[in-house]
Amino acid sequence: MPTVRRSLVSLLWALALTVPVPPAAPQSAPGPRDVVTRAYTFKYQKASEAVVLVYPLLSSKGTVELQPGGNTLVIRDTLTAVQKIMPALRAYDHPLRSLRLEVYVVKASRATVSPPVQHSDLPEDLTKRLRGLFAYDSFQKQAQAQLAGAEGEWVVYELGPDYKVSFRFGSLTEDRQVKLSSFRIARREEGRPETVLLHANLMLPLDHTTSLGIANSESSPEALMVVLTLREGDAAARK
């Protein structure tokens, strides 16, 4: 009898080993509204400058954390928002591009005689543009330069003996704009400290001319103008 019991136990054990165990149910994937965490480490661009790119794309649940030491952004948001943010970061993280900024400093004035005498020593297309924007008759070039650099670089340039320009190129965005951080133009006169004419952060679109007027009021008979045209690439590469 003990032999029969041992055989029965062995049979039951063998049957237990051969009974298939149903697989564990797969873990469900996050849904569109579930909050997920994604990190992106930048290879070319600065993570700190991409924060402003992320903010408009965040949902009400979203946060962005900057990790400067690793040049990384950590995004916590819904899956739907993250699926929009990550491609934008990958597109932003491109190799540094060469940029050049054409700068004109122009003295503008109104004629004091009638009929007004018009004069300009600027290129014809630029003269036509300025006359369409401002009520001045004469435009006299004070300084001109082509300032070359690359994304992320500081530029400091002496525009002849009278003017000095400094700024830092930002990164080219998807909508083809570049931020000029701390754009500063100052005028120097012998025996006097520099006079800062303009100090601001500027957002410039590529291949578009931006004209800034500096005057005491809109009715001033004279004004100083800073005319900026931003282009991709450097002058040498285009020759």
Say if residue 115 is preceded by a cis peptide, omega within 30 of 0: yes
Sign of CA dihedral 29, 32, 35, 38: positive
Residue 29's pLDDT band, with cuts at 50, 70 and 90, is confident
Tokens representing 121 are: 């020593």
Q: What is the pLDDT of residue 60?
A: 94
CA angle in degrees (0–180, nearest 5) for 146-178-125 = 50
Buried b (16+ CB within 10 A) or exposed e, 197-213: eeeeebebeeeebebbb
Query: What is the Cα–Cα distance from 138 to 136, expressed in whole angstroms?
Result: 6
Count of Cβ atoms closer than 10 Å to residue 230 Cβ: 23
Range in 52-56, 103-107, 114-118, 186-190 with the lowest mean pLDDT: 114-118
For the chain, the structural domain boundaries read 33-95, 98-238
Q: What is the pLDDT of residue 160?
A: 85
Q: Is the pLDDT of residue 9 over 60?
A: no
Query: What is the Cα–Cα distance from 100 to 147, expressed in whole angstroms?
Result: 5
- Predicted TM-score (pTM) above 0.85: no
Q: What is the pLDDT of residues 42-84, one digit of tens each?
A: 999 899 989 988 999 999 999 999 999 999 999 999 999 999 9
Q: What is the pLDDT of residues 31-40, one digit of tens each?
A: 788 999 999 9
102, containing H or E segment: strand 98-109
Count of Cβ atoms closer than 10 Å to residue 147 Cβ: 20
| Mean pLDDT to the nearest integer, 115-134 | 84
Q: What is the pLDDT of residues 143-158, one digit of tens each?
A: 999 999 999 899 999 9
- The structure tokens 């965490």 sit at 37
Q: Is the pLDDT of residue 14 over 60?
A: no
Query: What is the Cα–Cα distance from 38 to 83, expressed in whole angstroms?
Result: 10
Domain 33-95 falls under CATH 3.30.1370.120: yes
Range in 88-97, 100-109, 110-119 with the lowest mean pLDDT: 110-119
| DSSP category for residue 113 | S
